[in-house]
Each structure stands twice: as C-alpha cells, then as structure tokens.
Chain A
Amino acid sequence: MKSKVTENPSLRKALLGAYLSREKEGVGHDWRLKIMRRVREIGPMTITGFWPDFERVVWRLAPVSGILLLALALLFLNIGSGFSYDYLGIVTAELDQPTMGELLGLES
C-alpha cells in the first residue's frame, strides 16, 4: 500500500520544527503600550445583557412609536363621526338589492 508523505514521521517532525520556530521571532517592545492606547481610545465597556439591550431598543423605537400612535389617534378621530353612517349605508344597500331566490321567483 502506498504510504502517505504527510504521515512520514521525519517530514512531520521537520515541518513541526519549522512551524514552532516562528515563535522565536521577536516583536517590538511597545506593542503592549499600543494596545492600551487603543483600548483607552475606545473607552469604558459596559455589560450587555437582555434587559440593557431591551431598554436600548425600546428607547430607540420610542419616537417612531409615538408618531405612529399619534397618526392612528388622528385617523380614528376622523373616521369616528362618519363610520356609523357608512356602515348603516352598506347594510341598507344590501337590503335593497334582491336576493338570488327572489330573482328566480322562489321567494316573494
């Protein structure tokens, strides 16, 4: 059976040695200072969870909800007076029209 090159222990050992040797290369001394500078620029972090997130969403949606409520209230106020007359009109109009039974002479 053909053996796999990647499973050859000597090759694997050599490649692993090369891979781990990358760790030995140094970095600048001020890299930690640079991180802290960036962290301070970001500023304090706060805990997020369900309730803080929920609260934030509620406040974000508050103006839209307010406008929507106002618009609906105005709509209902305008509809309010004419609505009952319109409904009565529909009912009486339907009463005036002959039914199918009347048209066929089955009902008087």
Chain B
Amino acid sequence: MQNESPRSSDDEIVRQVLDGNVNAFESLLKRHSVQVLKIVQRHIPHKDVEETAQEAFVRAYRSLATFRGKSDFSQWLSAIAVRSCYDYWRKVYRSKEVPISTLTERHQDWMEAVLSGASEESHDEEGLQTEAKELLDWALARLSAEERMVIELLYLEGLSVKEAAGLLGWSVANVKVRSFRSRKKLEKLLRQEVPQGRRGQ
C-alpha cells in the first residue's frame, strides 16, 4: 500500500485514492475538514451540520474520478460543499419542514436601533447577535432554496456573481437574475418590519 508523505499535494493524494488506496482519502479529509465544516455551518442549521458535511465528503469521494486537476482541489471541494447545502435546503423546502418563526416588537425595536446607528452603543454584542440571528433566520425562511443560497453567498459573504455561479454550478446569468429577485424580496421583507418612522431614511 502506498503512503502519502506530509508534503504530498492534493493532486497526488487524489491519484493515490484513485489507484485504490482508500485510506489516503483521510489525508484530504484532515486537510480540508475545517474549510468544508465552515461552509456547511454557515448555510445549514446546527442540528444538520454534521450530516451535511459528511454528505459533502462522501459525494466528493464518489466523484473524485471527475476531478481533473484543472482547478484547485479545495475550490472543487468547496463547490461540492455548497451544492450539498443547496440540496439540503431543496429537500427541506420540498418537505415543507422549514421552521417559520415570527418577529416581535423586540426585533422591530432592534432594527430601528440598528438603522439609526444607535444599536452599537445601546446593546451588548451577544444581545445584538441574538436579535440579528433571529431576524436573519426569519427572513431566510421566507425565501426559496435558490434565493437563500444566493443571498448568503452574494449579499452576506460578498462573493462575486462569477464566484457564486462557479460554486453553485449555475450560469452567471442565472445567478444575476436570482440575485436581483432575492435582493428585492429580502428588501420587501425587511421593509415590512421597519417601523413606519424609519422607512425611506
């Protein structure tokens, strides 16, 4: 059995795996687990992170033969992780299992404070994050799986349309259209929650 040296490149390890050395995959797993886990944690609810991350790696293993080495392995793996997250949401939305939370006056007050720029002085960071998390979950639950992914990648992570298209495996035009629609929908959702006095400012 061949053994991979600590300095083996990803391409070399991939070659070893494809030559039948299944255990060599563990090196790729160790090298890229943090990266994949971070991607999955951002997109998926905590309870399903482990399973989705596992799914992403198993999917990567199954399609290892299609990795041609044209792009960086970590980039290729990131795309698989993002697509696994997208598939997760498609499944959840199809089964209508998306938890729909409701916003309270507390969230509206928080939004008003944030929009006026007063929140940073009046709230502690932990409290600020709780409101923000709830608001974010509330808004994202009202979007489709496609819109959710586009909002997260473009609006929140700040990726370019081309980068998001590469990760999702969609065309640039498709991402642009979805981005426009989802931003419009998010704007409408948040605007509804902004107290009257703050609108248009």
Contact = CB atoms under 8 A, between A and B. Distances in A.
Contacts of A39: 22, 25, 57-58, 61
- Contact count band on B: 35 or more
B190 A36 contact: no
B135 to A, nearest CB: 7
B50 interface: yes
A25 B200 contact: no
B128 A27 contact: no
B177 interface: no
B115 interface: yes
Interface stretch (A42-50, A63-71, A81-89, A95-103): A42-50
Interface in A15-47: 15-23, 25, 27-28, 31-32, 34-36, 38-40, 42-47
A18 B42 contact: no
A5 B194 contact: yes
Contacts of A23: 38, 41-42
Interface of A: 2-6, 8, 10-12, 14-23, 25, 27-28, 31-32, 34-36, 38-40, 42-48
A31 B50 contact: yes
B114 A17 contact: no
Contacts of A5: 115, 187, 190-191, 194
Determine chain B's interface SS by DSSP, over half rule: helix
B62 to A, nearest CB: 7
Nearest to B198: A5
A39 B50 CA distance: 16
A11 B115 contact: yes
Contacts of A36: 23, 25-26, 29
Contacts of A48: 65-66
Nearest to A1: B200
B142 to A, nearest CB: 14
Contacts of A44: 20-22
Contacts of A3: 200-201
